[in-house]
Structure 1
Amino acid sequence: MYTRVNDLVSIRLIAMAWRYLSKSMFGSSGGESEEEDLQAAAIIASMGRKRCWGGSVFGHKIYKRDRAAAERLLMLKYFDEESIFDDDQFRRRYRMRKPLFLRIVDELTTANSFFKQRRNAAGAKGFSPIHKCTAAMRVLMYGQAADAVDDVLMMGESTVLKCVKVFVKTVISVYQEEYLRPPRQHEIEEMMTSNAARGFPGKTGSIDCMHWEWANCPSGWHGVYKGHKGKPTMILEAIASEDLRIWHAFFGLPGSHNDINVLHRSPVFDDLANGNAPEVEFTVNGNIYSMGYYLADGIYPNWATLVKSISAPVSKKHNVYARRQESCRKDVERTFGVLRAKWKILHSPARLWNPRDLNSIVRACVILHKIIVDERGKDVAQLHNSEWPGAANPPINQNRNVPAIAQLIDAYSVIKSKETSASLRNDLVEHIWELYGTSSGPFARMHGH
């Protein structure tokens, strides 16, 4: 009976559309009312157009969410002058201070009209920019499913997912030029000065990889994305400094790769090979070197730009070096820990289906992490006790001309030189032993040994 009624309704609507079409083409009057003409016009206008996912569908239940009440409650909790929660609670729950969050909202709203508040066809106000950005941040910060945001912010699942995807893409488009770039000359000099005081002159960061589990990886792709973790994952390669800043992020390779495969495919040394990297020169144990290096773990190859530990130290000299190298290399491990603790979506299995969306989420989280770290660097005294402590100059070498293939081969042969790698590590062993191993070193004198 129900199916028959639906068929009759469909036939009547098609007949209305046909009468309206006849009237408009031949001028004949079918006697239908103005309301029927409008309905028929809407039917004809929608013919041949694919219906979007969700939306208004005949027979579906309509949830009347009180958006205005949710907006008032959100403002009362965090954004009014006399809000319920203070600035310290805002900082813990939004991962940043309120002025920084409001500045990001304003810049995203200026860059993308999606975040502007509009009225719908019925004249009712839509979600405000703060409301949309809060929904996206809730998913990123707590790793919640999109449906879990509905009961607090009165926003449907599909709308939350759209807010997340548009939010991360807009963050990338607005901030990637400043926060997804290699370090500038003065920043490299600051890092080298700081690392020289730790016993590693010439060090410009630590490199490592992190896996992010992909829960909704298609079954046909499991053989590619499943590696030693036992589950489908995607890999993030990053270079981080002592202050938790991320200077290089390369994400998207399947979890079946190891760190060596990722290194061979990443653009981490492209600027150095192309001659676009800033000049670096330092002295260790009386020898001069012209390339900076990263601290790495044992799986990485013996290259001139990578300094590894000694897996089985025998002498005291090697033992001291191994402990110092492994201690300083933890900078990137600490950064991964803070990144995943701050943005819980990277700690939980990814629920989205498209690898491009996952790539955008990771890049946006890296950008937001670096924005927060840079903001805290301006005012270290106001850091929260439970959190990690943490441009005016133009980019270096605007000329991006790619050299000839022979020059690239020569450059990479210098980067991958095993002789330079062995010589550099031996010099660092002697240098660190002079600082930390002998009784006459500055570290020993400082501690009264």
Structure 2
Amino acid sequence: MNNLWDQIRRSQDEDDEEMMATNAIVMAAVAQESGNQHRGRGSHPGRAPNEERFREERGKGMLADYFVDRPVFKDAEFRTRYRMSLNLFHRISTDLCQYDRYFVQRSDATGKVGLLPEQKMTAALRMLAYGAGADQCAEYCRMAKSTSVAALQHFTRGIVNLYSTQYLRAPTAADLRRLLTKAERRGFPGMIGSIDCMHWQWKNCPTGWAGEYSGRKQIPTIILEAVASYDTWIWHAFFGVPGACNDLNVLAKSPLFDDLTAGRAPLVQFQVNNRAHNLGYYLADGIYPRWATFLKTVRNPTRPKEIEFAKAQEGYRKDVERCFGILQSRFSIIRGAARGWHKEDLRYIMLTCIILHNMIVENQRPEDSDDELESDDEEDNNMRPRIAEVWEGPTGRDFDPVGRDAHNMNGFMDRYQQIRSEQCHSNLQEDLIQHFWEFQGNRRI
């Protein structure tokens, strides 16, 4: 019996030793795996050092290239590569540094100097202007891919939050007077601008949304509705509608006429062909409805006056398409397919491009452009009588029959129906056909 118990004890001891050895092997494997994990992250021993990009030296080189008194590259090269003048760049840089501390150059805990504001802005502008990928900014701006993406996100949000109130606004009364003066010189009194839509292809559209965002070309796109004037300034931008919609669906969701129906917009009054009109209008193509606020061309014109009117309307309507072409040429990121994953990021990119476009248009506008439009030359006045007038507030029964109280439902519905009146559109088209024929005759004389 004793021998049996001795055998049982020996077998138990052998099992315990085998288990301990197995546990030791497992613990060693876990320790090795843990060491491998620690080697790639945090401040644990074995972590690979950061890649030396010489960002401080390259930052000084960038300043010497463009931002010193006697730079290597002159103003013409700066405008080509940054899409704006140096003065406008400095203005944006100053505003961004005051708005977002991300753009301020700082030192880390070890005393190493960070990136310059010019480096971060250059990376963002290169991605917007050239459509470059984030990793393509590493060679010149000396920034990692994640840093370039972060710079673009901070830049676009800063631009929209700082300048959208000024550069994405509807025309004020002063703006309307300038636009209407130019329109009268073209033979279209009461015209504010032209309206159209543009599609931006979304390459990385989520699969679950592809059907909603794919239109007749079977490619996911996002639609931009815009109103542009003769100088390619964009007065209205509505972005984010899925590409499966058309111009009519976008118009139904657009806030284009919200201020007008609420009675908050400046009112335009003009008289042509002995008939008074109380709404400004936009030139539009055939898909838009026959509203009083749109002026469409004549389909299959036969009379000479209709032919001349159709040529002029279709030509001036190209202002918005010309604006789209300039916008895509100036910022290649919206000419190619969007590579972003998040729709909100794409919205900020599009609005940033529009705001920068308007800022560039304003910066390049001659200082005496308004004086030229307000010329009192006798010969010019004979060719361009001032027909349209702008009213900033209520002016009486003879002008504003529906009232200006936004809380008055009757007034709201009257304005709503007046905007969508097909009869007013027909009257406007007939009157302008006759007016343009007489205007052309006066110009020939």
Shorter-chain TM-score: what band? 0.7 to 0.9
1:268 maps to which of 256, 262, 284:
256
Aligned 8 A contact 2:259 2:265 in 1: yes
Q: What RMSD, in angstroms, separates the aligned Cα atoms of the two structures?
A: 2.5
Match of 2:102 in 1: 114
Q: Which moved more, 1:95-104 or 1:406-415?
A: 406-415
Choose 1 or 2 for highest CA Rg: 2
Name the amino acid aligned to 1:193: T
1:144-183 to 2 correspondences below 5 Å: 144-183=132-171
1:413-424 to 2 correspondences below 5 Å: 413-424=417-428
Name the SS of the counterpart of 1:281 in structure 2: strand
CA distance in 1: counterparts of 2:406 and 2:429, whole angstroms: 31
CA distance in 1: counterparts of 2:248 and 2:218, whole angstroms: 19
- Structure 2: gaps of 5 or more residues: 1-25, 370-391, 394-403
1:68-217 to 2 correspondences below 5 Å: 68-217=56-205
Q: Residue deviations 1:94-129, cap 9 Å, x none?
A: 111111101110111101111111112322111111
TM-fit CA distance, 1:66: 1.1
Q: Residue deviations 1:269-301, cap 9 Å, x none?
A: 000000000021011111111110000000000
Q: Residue deviations 1:207-257, cap 9 Å, x none?
A: 000111111101111100000233110011011100111110000000001
TM-fit CA distance, 1:177: 1.1
Match of 2:30 in 1: 7
Distance 1:4 1:252, change over 3 A: farther
Distance 1:257 1:306, change over 3 A: same
The alignment's TM-score, normalised by the length of structure 2, stands at 0.82
Match of 1:369 in 2: 357
TM-fit CA distance, 1:404: 4.5
Name the amino acid aligned to 2:254: S
Name the amino acid aligned to 1:8: A
Match of 1:250 in 2: 238
CA distance in 1: counterparts of 2:42 and 2:355, whole angstroms: 33
Name the SS of the counterpart of 2:282 in structure 1: strand
Aligned 8 A contact 2:405 2:411 in 1: no
1:301 maps to which of 282, 289, 296:
289
Distance 1:150 1:402, change over 3 A: farther
CA distance in 1: counterparts of 2:238 and 2:269, whole angstroms: 26
The alignment's TM-score, normalised by the length of structure 1, stands at 0.81
Say whether residues 1:432 and 2:436 are aligned partners. yes
Name the SS of the counterpart of 1:210 in structure 2: strand
CA distance in 1: counterparts of 2:43 and 2:177, whole angstroms: 59
Name the SS of the counterpart of 1:212 in structure 2: strand
TM-fit CA distance, 1:152: 1.4
TM-fit CA distance, 1:261: 0.5
Q: Residue deviations 1:80-106, cap 9 Å, x none?
A: 222110111111111111111011101
Distance 1:11 1:147, change over 3 A: closer
Distance 1:4 1:145, change over 3 A: farther
CA distance in 1: counterparts of 2:442 and 2:30, whole angstroms: 90
1:221-260 to 2 correspondences below 5 Å: 221-260=209-248
1:411 maps to which of 392, 402, 415:
415
- Structure 1: gaps of 5 or more residues: 15-38, 40-53, 382-395
Aligned length, in residue pairs: 386
Distance 1:326 1:72, change over 3 A: same
Q: Percent identity?
A: 41
CA distance in 1: counterparts of 2:205 and 2:423, whole angstroms: 43
TM-fit CA distance, 1:347: 0.4
Name the SS of the counterpart of 2:192 in structure 1: strand
Moved runs in structure 1, 4+ residues, more than 3 A? 3-6, 9-14, 54-62, 378-381, 404-407
Match of 1:290 in 2: 278
CA distance in 2: counterparts of 1:361 and 1:371, whole angstroms: 15
